Chains A and B, each alone.
Chain A
Amino acid sequence: MLRLVVQRLLLLIPLLLGLSVLLFAWVRALPGGPVTSMLGERYTPEAAARIEAEMGLDQPVWVQYGKYLARLIEGDLGTSLRTGRPVLEEFLTRFPATIELTLVALVLAIGIGIPLGYVAARRAGSVVDHASVVVSLIGVTVPVFFLAFILKYLFAVELDWFPSAGRQSVTMVATHPTNFYVLDGLLTAEWDAAWDAMMHLVLPGLALSSIPLAIIARMTRAAVSEVQNADYVRTARAKGIKASRLRSDHIIRNAMLPVLTTIGLQVGLLLSGAVLTETVFAFSGIGGFLAEAVFSADYPVLQGFVLLIAVVYALVNLIVDVSYGLIDPRLRRQQ
Chain B
Amino acid sequence: MTANELPPVEGAPVAPLNIHESAVEGGDHSGEGIWARAWRTLRKNPVAIAGFVIVAVFLVVALLAPLLAPYGAHALPGRGEIRPTLIPGPSAEYPLGLDRYGGDVLSKLIWGARASLLVGVLSTLFGLAGGVALGLLAGWFGGWVDVAAMRLVDLMLSVPSLLLAVSIAAIAGQSPSSVIIAIAVVQVPIFARLLRGSMLAQRGQDYVLAASALGLTRGSVTMSHVLPNSVGPVIVQATLTLATAVIEAAALSFLGLGGGEPSTAEWGRMLTAAQNELAVAPRLAILPGICIAVTALGFTLVGESLREALDPRNRTRR
Name A's B-contacting residues (CB within 8 A).
Answer: 14-15, 18-19, 22, 26, 29-31, 137, 140-143, 145-146, 149-150, 152-153, 157, 268-269, 271-273, 275-276, 279-280, 290-291, 294-295, 297, 299, 302, 305-306, 309-310, 313-314
B271 touches A149 (CB 8 A): yes
Q: Which of A26, A149, A279, A306 contacts B171 (CB 8 A)?
A: A26
Residues of A within 8 A of B293 (CB): 141-143, 146
A31 touches B166 (CB 8 A): no
CA distance A142 to B257 in the complex (A): 20
**Residue interface mask B164-205, A partner, CB < 8 A = 1:** 101100110100000000000000000000000000000000
B160 touches A272 (CB 8 A): yes
A18 touches B151 (CB 8 A): yes
Question: For residue A164, which residue of chain B has the nearest CB?
Answer: B278
CB distance from A229 to the nearest CB of B (A): 13
Name B's A-contacting residues (CB within 8 A).
Answer: 151, 154-155, 157-164, 166-167, 170-171, 173, 243, 247, 250-251, 254-257, 271, 274-275, 278-279, 282, 285-286, 289, 292-294, 296-297, 300
B170 touches A299 (CB 8 A): yes
Given known contacts A19-B155, A140-B243, A157-B279, A268 and B255 CB-to-CB distance under 8 angstroms: no
CB distance from B178 to the nearest CB of A (A): 10
Grouping DSSP codes into helix (H, G, I), strand (E, B) and loop, the A interface class, with mixed when no group exceeds half, is: helix
B282 touches A153 (CB 8 A): yes
B163 touches A150 (CB 8 A): no
Residues of A within 8 A of B161 (CB): 268-269, 272
Residues of A within 8 A of B170 (CB): 30, 294, 297, 299, 302
Grouping DSSP codes into helix (H, G, I), strand (E, B) and loop, the B interface class, with mixed when no group exceeds half, is: helix
Question: For residue B279, which residue of chain A has the nearest CB?
Answer: A157
Residues of B within 8 A of A15 (CB): 154-155, 158
CA distance A19 to B247 in the complex (A): 26
A18 touches B271 (CB 8 A): no
CB distance from B280 to the nearest CB of A (A): 10
CB distance from A155 to the nearest CB of B (A): 12
CA distance A33 to B286 in the complex (A): 40
Interface centre among B171, B285, B286, B296, by most chain A C-beta atoms within 10 angstroms, is B171
CA distance A17 to B33 in the complex (A): 47
CB distance from B246 to the nearest CB of A (A): 9
Residues of B within 8 A of A145 (CB): 251, 254, 271
B167 touches A276 (CB 8 A): no
B296 touches A18 (CB 8 A): no
